[in-house]
Amino acid sequence: MEYQELPYVLIDYIGGKHGVHEDHVEFLKKYFHLITLKEYIENKKFLSEKIRAIYMWYHKPVVNEELLQSLPNLKIVASSGVGIDHLDLKLLSGYGVKASNTPFIVSSDTADLAMALMLASSRRLVEGYQMAVSPDTEYFPADWLGDAVSGATLGIIGMGSIGYKVAERAKAFEMKILYHNRNRRNKEEESAVGAVYCEKIHHLLQQSDFVLLSVNLMPATHKLIGKRELELMKPTATLINVSRGLVVDQDALVEALQNKVIKAAALDVTYPEPLPRDHPLLKLKNVIITPHMGTATKKTRLLMMENMIKSIQAGLMGLPIPHEVLL
C-alpha cells in the first residue's frame, strides 16, 4: 500500500496560555503533520509550499496578507469558536482560501454560562461568598438581599443558537422572554420558548430586568450598547455580555454602573482581555467578570477540535465544509 504523507497544518504553538491544548496534540497528529509558527519561520523555504491548512486556536496564528502570500497552497483556515471578527474574509477569499468555525458546538456551554452569570449577579453570589468566608464576619445581615430571577423579564439581543438556548433555559425559570434579532424566528420557535419579538431594540431595553448580549461582533454591532442604550434600561436592570467586549461601549458602561443608571453587569468578555489591573470595572462591587470562559469545558473543547479536523479534511478534499464561513 502506497504511503500517503499527512497534510501539513500550521498552528501557533502548543500549550501555554493560548496554544493548542497539549492533550489534543496526539489526536491531531493522527490526521495532520503539525507545524508551529516558530518552526515555519525557521524553515520557511521548505515549508511554505507544504502547508495546506491553518488550525486557528484562540484566534492564533494571526492570518494576514504577509502570511497568505507566503503560503501558496493554503486551502482552508479552520477557526475555533463562533466569533469571526478576527478573520478578514475578503482577504482570505482573494487568495482562494476558505474559512470555517465551530458555531453550534459552543452554544450549550455558553448558554449555561449566561444563566450562571445571571444567577450569580442577581443573587450576589460573589459578595455572599466573600461575606461567608471573611474572618471579620460575625453574623449574616437579614437585610442583605438579591433579586429574583424566576418570573423576571429577560431581553435577549441576538437570538441565534446561543440566544435561543438561553431562552430555553430561561423558560424553566418562568421568565418573560423578549428578543431582538436581525431576523425574526418563526412562530413555532417563538412559541416553544414563549419569546416575544421586539422589532426595535429600545422596546426591549425599556422592559427588561436582564439584558443578554449574544451577537456576533461586526460593524453593525460595534458598541451596540452605549450611553443612550444604557439610559433606556431600567435602573434595576442587569447587563449580561457573552458575545464580545466591543459590543459594549465600556467607558459608558463604567459611568452607568457608577452612577446607578443600571444596577449591575455580568461580563464574560471585555476589551482588552484581560483588563488592565487598574481598570475601574475591576473595582466595582456591582460587576462580575469571568475570563471569557463560555466554551471552557473539556467536552466542548474536544468537540471543537474534532469539528475543525473535519472542516480541514473536507477543505483539502474539495468537499462541502462543515460550518463554512462565507462573505
Q: Is 273 among the catalytic positions?
A: yes
Catalytically annotated residue among 24, 52, 124, 292: 292
Catalytically annotated residue among 24, 244, 301, 323: 244
Q: In the prediction, which pLDDT does 304 show? A: 95
Assess contact for 107 and 265: CB atoms under 8 A: no
To the nearest 10°, report the CA torsion of 300, 305, 307, 310.
-160
Provide the grid cell at 84. 469571526
Q: What is the mean pLDDT of residues 269-288?
A: 97
Q: What is the mean pLDDT of residues 76-95?
A: 94
Q: Does 33 score more than 90 pLDDT?
A: yes
Q: Is 301 among the catalytic positions?
A: no
Catalytically annotated residue among 273, 306, 323, 324: 273
What CA–CA distance (Å, rounded) separates 30 from 53? 15
Q: Does 1 score more than 70 pLDDT?
A: no
How confident is the model over 168-221, as pLDDT tens digits?
A: 999 999 999 999 999 999 999 999 999 999 999 999 999 999 999 999 999 999
Q: Is 292 among the catalytic positions?
A: yes
Q: In the prediction, which pLDDT does 159 show? A: 97
Q: Determine the 3-state secondary structure of 103 from DSSP.
A: coil
How confident is the model over 12-29, as pLDDT tens digits?
A: 999 988 899 999 999 999
Provide the grid cell at 290. 469571568
Q: In the prediction, which pLDDT does 3 show? A: 54
Give Cα separations from 146 to 170, 175, 262 (angstroms). Answer: 18, 17, 15
Query: Which H or E run includes 36?
Result: strand 33-36
Q: What is the mean pLDDT of residues 265-273?
A: 97
Q: Does 224 score more than 50 pLDDT?
A: yes
Angle at which helix 161-172 crosses helix 107-122, to 10 degrees, equals 50
